[in-house]
Structure 1
Amino acid sequence: MAETGAPEPRWLVAANVVRWRRYGELGQEFRSGTKAFRPGAKVYVIDTYPATGDEQLTAVGHGRHTGRWITIDTGTRHLHTFRPRLVYAPAVLVRCAGLPVHTREEAAGLAQWLERVARLGRDTHHAAPHPDPCLCHACLPGQ
């Protein structure tokens, strides 16, 4: 049980920001991480919603430039390794107050679905073939 005033821990989906993402005309250029998050940064998914042709989600994590907690909407294709995590960080819990609470099993199911959506988004977002050599998440060894 949490102390008075401290939010209760809850199950959320955690993910990491891709190290490199395809960018520009036909995806022939690369950028590290995203504008808001460093490559490899751990973020927590607090909400998801469909957008025009690309699945979007709301993520909370430490900002790239300030290191402070930020909340931002981003495409699922910019994240990978979705997994359920029990979150204790008050900054995250305050930002997801009022949203539905998930069980561990629900968070695990959401994580599996987001992983599939992210992989599909990375594969189909740019209609052109990958450049050679390619640094994108799908082409890096061990991904």
Structure 2
Amino acid sequence: MAEEDVPQARPFLLVAANVVTWRRCGVGGQELRPGTKAFKGGAKVYVADVYWGPGGERLTVAGRERHTGRWIIIDTATRHLHGFRPKLVHTPRVLELLRASGREGGLGAEYAADVAATLERYARQYRAGIAPNRPHPDRCLCHACLTGESGELTVAEAGG
């Protein structure tokens, strides 16, 4: 079978994000860990599904696994991601995985932009909720400290 005879999967629009480089965890948020158990810090992932019911706390994402580099689909916490944006997915393996898991299809451009903005707001809010009244460790490398992100939402972000 010639290469041009293989049907090409059509790209579609999804929300992409990056895994935070460092995250706070442990008692009082005093421990720092790089990335997540499944993804390296800074890895690009594609949001395949959002659980809106509990407030968007968990997402199903497709990305390259930390140790093997294989593409995987896994549930992760919204607070471990940042930089949500609409992105056209061309990667054949991601398109295959999404099709196999029944999550094929795309988003409209306006809807994808709205979802990205909402998820960014949720992620910031959830990161701020990790040990909110505890000081950060010395020379903290968490996402909020590295980017200067405050946990408080502005009136425009809160929707008011």
Identify whether the pair has TM-score above 0.5, normalized to the shorter chain.
Answer: yes
TM-superposed deviation, 1:52? 5.5
Cα deviation per residue 1:12-69 (whole Å; 9 max; x = unaligned)?
0111100000011111000000010011001111100047677100111111000010
Q: Quick one: which amino acid aligns to residue 83 of structure 1?
A: R
Partner residue in 1 for 2:143: 137
**Cα contact 1:11–1:102 (8 A) shared by 2:** yes
Residue 16 of structure 2 corresponds to residue 14 of structure 1:
yes
Residue 89 of structure 2 corresponds to residue 87 of structure 1:
yes
Question: Hey, what's the Cα distance between the residues in 1 that align with 2:147 and 2:51?
Answer: 31
Residue 120 of structure 2 corresponds to residue 118 of structure 1:
no
Partner residue in 1 for 2:42: 40
Going by fraction, where is strand more abundant, 1 or 2?
1
Question: Hey, what's the Cα distance between the residues in 2 that align with 1:141 and 1:133?
Answer: 13
**Cα contact 1:27–1:128 (8 A) shared by 2:** no
Question: Hey, what's the Cα distance between the residues in 2 that align with 1:53 and 1:47?
Answer: 13
TM-superposed deviation, 1:106? 1.2
TM-superposed deviation, 1:108? 1.0
Question: Hey, what's the Cα distance between the residues in 2 that align with 1:5 and 1:141?
Answer: 43
TM-superposed deviation, 1:122? 0.2
Residue 79 of structure 2 corresponds to residue 72 of structure 1:
no
Going by fraction, where is helix more abundant, 1 or 2?
2
Matched residue of 1:140: which SS?
Answer: helix
* Larger of the two Rg values belongs to structure: 2
Question: Hey, what's the Cα distance between the residues in 2 that align with 1:54 and 1:103?
Answer: 19
Partner residue in 2 for 1:59: 61
Which runs of 5 or more structure 2 residues have no equivalent in the other structure? 150-160
Q: Which runs of 4+ in 1 moved over 6 A?
A: none
Identity within the alignment, %: 56
Which runs of 5 or more structure 1 residues have no equivalent in the other structure? none
Aligned length: 141
